[in-house]
Amino acid sequence: MIKATYKKYILNFKNPSGTSRGVLRTKETWFILLEENGKSGIGETGLFRGLSIDDVPNYEEKLIWVCSNIDKGEELLLKELFEFPSIQFGLEQAFLSLRSKDSFELFPSEFTKGNESISINGLVWMGDKEFMKTQIKEKLKTGFSCIKMKIGAIDFDTEIALLKSIRNEFSSNEIELRVDANGAFTKENALEKLSVLSALDLHSIEQPIKQGQLEEMAFLCEKTPLPIALDEELIGVFTESDKKTLLETIQPQYIILKPSLVGGIAGSKEWISIAENNNIDWWITSALESNIGLNVIAQFTYDLQNKLPQGLGTGGLFTNNFTSPLTVANGALHYNNAIQWDFKL
């Protein structure tokens, strides 16, 4: 007999972090805790306020429902939770954790043995010019060869000047530059801005215009001089047929998968399968989870063996994250087994 409970936890940012949706100081998250025959399982339901499709008033009620209906079994619960992708992912994690020999090693591999690492991009948060410049220098100093910069919050010309200053110092062979507009451009000015950005030899741009404008996004993906990656566009698309329609209509160059936002492991695998059938490349990104959620995303990502730099957080954004073997060195995420997990709520 499985016993299920859940707990809320507030993660505190070390520094207020700027996004196009405002400045983040805290991030609330929840954990699903399973117990059976003396064994425990942990899963994080990483709701992202203002972005997750399941950011609804009855979110905690749904968690209560999951815990009181845990005897329905994983498969049936996941089906019934199709409109709650973050809870789906937390539940997948918790069951994987419960069944694993080690609650934290869910996809045993050369990564979890500490023999191999995952190449990741260094994320530069939005802010004023000096703050962003400082972050860029820090990322380069710590060995990142792929940098992702969020744009769209400050003046476009200032952002272009920042990107130019990197390019003047480092060629695209030395530093891969990705930008994320979080839908900040309009359909009227997007193509012009993409042309300006393409002169800087960038790898790609995420979500240039707001999601839900399928015809406009399809037009941009067809005409763009700079590869486009869909991100927010994938949120709230639940059925396999709707996913197919979306990708076949827009034909993006890349898609970006945040498991907490697209239905966890099963949801991500479905998107990947459809993308690959349409010759669309992809990578995986975390979405401000604690080290519990990041751990599962990292192990799952390594298992998929995608060689592009992945968008995996480092766990270092929060003052009260959980001690874990996940460490960053030389632009890669490592699993250092000399560091023990310390998960206390």
User: Is 150 annotated as catalytic?
Assistant: yes
Residue of 248, 242, 198 whose CA lies nearest to 218: 248
Going by the DSSP 8-state scheme, the letter that residue 290 receives in this structure is -
Q: Any residues with CB less than 8 A from the CB of 75 and at least 6 apart, and which?
A: none
Active-site entry in 27, 139, 193, 258: 258
Work out the burial of residue 155: count CB atoms within 10 Å of its CB; fewer than 13 is exposed, 13-18 middle, 19 or more buried: exposed
Amino acid (1-letter code) at residue 319: T
Residue of 320, 289, 319 whose CA lies nearest to 14: 319
User: Is 258 annotated as catalytic?
Assistant: yes
Burial per residue of 238-275, b for 16 or more beta-carbon CB atoms within 10 angstroms, e otherwise: eeeeebbebbeebebbbbbbbbbbbbbbebbebbbebb
Active-site entry in 139, 150, 193, 243: 150
d(CA 342, CA 345): 10
Query: Looking at the annotation, which residues are catalytic?
Result: 150, 258
